[in-house]
Amino acid sequence: MGESSANGSPTSADAAGRALAARVADIAPFQVARVFERARQLERAGRRIVHWELGEPDFPSAPTVVAAGKAALDAGRTGYTETLGLPVLRQAIAERYPAAVDAGRVAVTTGASAALNLLAQTLIDPGDDVLLADPGYPCNQGFVRAAGGVPKRVPVDARTAFRLTLPALRAAWTPRTRVVLLASPANPTGALLAANEIRAIVEFAAAAGAVVVMDEIYQGLVYDERDPDPFARTALGLDDRVFVVNSFSKYFGMTGWRLGWLVAPPWAMDAIDRCAQNLYLAPPTVSQHAALAALEPPALAVHEARRRVLARRRDVFLRGMDALALPVAHRPQGAFYIYADISATGLPAQAFCGRLLEEFGVAAAPGTDFGSHRAEAHVRFAFTVDEADIRRGLERLGAACRAMIGSPR
């Protein structure tokens, strides 16, 4: 894409200067996308790269999910569905929550991306403050800005196990705070919020006239419980000012199908429906039919087996990090990321990731993709590759650390 720079020829730069919206300047590209692109270049040149940069597991969708997609195609399901999704899918999702909700409160969306965007458009006025954790999922700021809101990043770190706490929220609260965005399990740290912490935040926000959007995209991917119900850990039902966002991408292994959902209080559904009609028309049809299978026992057994595989990978990864004496900023209880503190190398995160990739063949995401609070001191490693690649990566990471900071203590 040699043409794709915003600063091309002088004429183009003039045109861009006149024609691009101001918000564009605030939208940072994902550095991880550049890391991935460079990793692919190196692979094409014959290098063997360990991919720890991507938030996408190496599993294909479960066989019954794929079969359901094909069956939908055979049945000619190629037209639009209802804007908020197939009624049978909304019902299937609604029924799986511990305290079943009315299916009318469920909106099936084109990935959690669409759910987050719809909530931003429905809840945020220009100039509203939205509180969110730093570090956190980078696109959240994009959704807030697209709606004219102001993302206010609240620093979280090891002192609170990377949890966004009520005291930190209180300290960051402004008269313009309209929305609090929580995530559990959280990206990039794998941190979990306890039920009582969420409840306290929801009560505080509700009393202050704000709403809480709970990102449960990694719901079900928790590792310190035996046989967890993938729908058990939810903020749903705490208050009629709580919105829940979820995805078929992570636990259900359906990234490329682009399907997620939200559950909203009844008073917001009509507005969400109208926004979805205008901005999306409907989510992808074949994906919805496939998702029905993702919620059934045969696929759930596959997902549960994969969760166990991920749990073992996490343990291998953490033991390896301990052996390298490279500090893990937070031992993840969920999601599939290790957030590592690389400050001992003396290199800022992007430079560290650059050397790690170029010299040692390991791709990782710099902390600067996820915020600014001590971001230069951190790197995110995704355990979305198999154990052999995790061990291979750990060896290379060890060599990198020896080269950058001397032998491990």
Determine, following the binding rule CB under 8 A, whether residue 44 of this chain makes contact with a copy of itself: no
With CB under 8 A as the contact rule, the residue among 13, 88, 194, 305 that binds a copy of itself is 13
**In angstroms, what is the minimal distance from the CB of 80 to a copy of itself?**
5
Determine, following the binding rule CB under 8 A, whether residue 270 of this chain makes contact with a copy of itself: yes
**In angstroms, what is the minimal distance from the CB of 121 to a copy of itself?**
6
Query: What part of residues 118-147 is at the interface with a copy of itself (CB under 8 A)?
Result: 121-126, 138-139, 141-143, 146-147
**In angstroms, what is the minimal distance from the CB of 92 to a copy of itself?**
16
Determine, following the binding rule CB under 8 A, whether residue 250 of this chain makes contact with a copy of itself: no
CA atoms within 13 A on the CB side of 334: 25
Dihedral in degrees, nearest 10, Cα atoms 120, 126, 131, 136: 60
Closer residue to a copy of itself (CB): 46 or 79: 79
Residues 6+ apart with CB under 8 A from 315: none
For residue 224, the SS3 value is coil
Please answer whether residues 202 and 238 qualify as being in contact, where contact means their C-beta atoms are separated by less than 8 angstroms: yes
Helices (H), 1-110: 10-19, 31-44, 63-74, 87-96
Determine, following the binding rule CB under 8 A, whether residue 268 of this chain makes contact with a copy of itself: yes
**In angstroms, what is the minimal distance from the CB of 146 to a copy of itself?**
6
Determine, following the binding rule CB under 8 A, whether residue 207 of this chain makes contact with a copy of itself: no
With CB under 8 A as the contact rule, the residue among 47, 48, 170, 274 that binds a copy of itself is 274
Closer residue to a copy of itself (CB): 3 or 227: 3
Q: Which two tokens stand for residue 326?
A: 């490279």
Distance CA 343, CA 349 (A): 8
Determine, following the binding rule CB under 8 A, whether residue 283 of this chain makes contact with a copy of itself: yes
Distance CA 186, CA 164 (A): 10
**In angstroms, what is the minimal distance from the CB of 42 to a copy of itself?**
17
Distance CA 59, CA 55 (A): 12
Please answer whether residues 50 and 393 qualify as being in contact, where contact means their C-beta atoms are separated by less than 8 angstroms: yes
Query: What part of residues 56-115 is at the interface with a copy of itself (CB under 8 A)?
Result: 56, 60-61, 65-66, 69-70, 73-74, 76-81, 83, 102, 104-105, 110-111, 113
Determine, following the binding rule CB under 8 A, whether residue 242 of this chain makes contact with a copy of itself: no
Closer residue to a copy of itself (CB): 173 or 257: 257
Binding marks (x or -) toward a copy of itself, 211..240, rule CB under 8 A? x----------------------------x
What DSSP character marks residue 334?
B
Measured CA distances, 229 to 139, 216, 389 (Å): 28, 14, 29
Determine, following the binding rule CB under 8 A, whether residue 3 of this chain makes contact with a copy of itself: yes
Distance CA 129, CA 175 (A): 9
Q: State whether the Cα torsion 236-239-242-243 is positive or negative.
A: positive
Closer residue to a copy of itself (CB): 116 or 328: 116
Give the closest residue to 178 by CA, choosing from 129, 134, 111, 141: 129
Query: What part of residues 171-200 is at the interface with a copy of itself (CB under 8 A)?
Result: 178
Closer residue to a copy of itself (CB): 83 or 165: 83
Determine, following the binding rule CB under 8 A, whether residue 349 of this chain makes contact with a copy of itself: no
Determine, following the binding rule CB under 8 A, whether residue 46 of this chain makes contact with a copy of itself: no
Q: 30 — phi, psi (to 5°)?
A: -75, 120
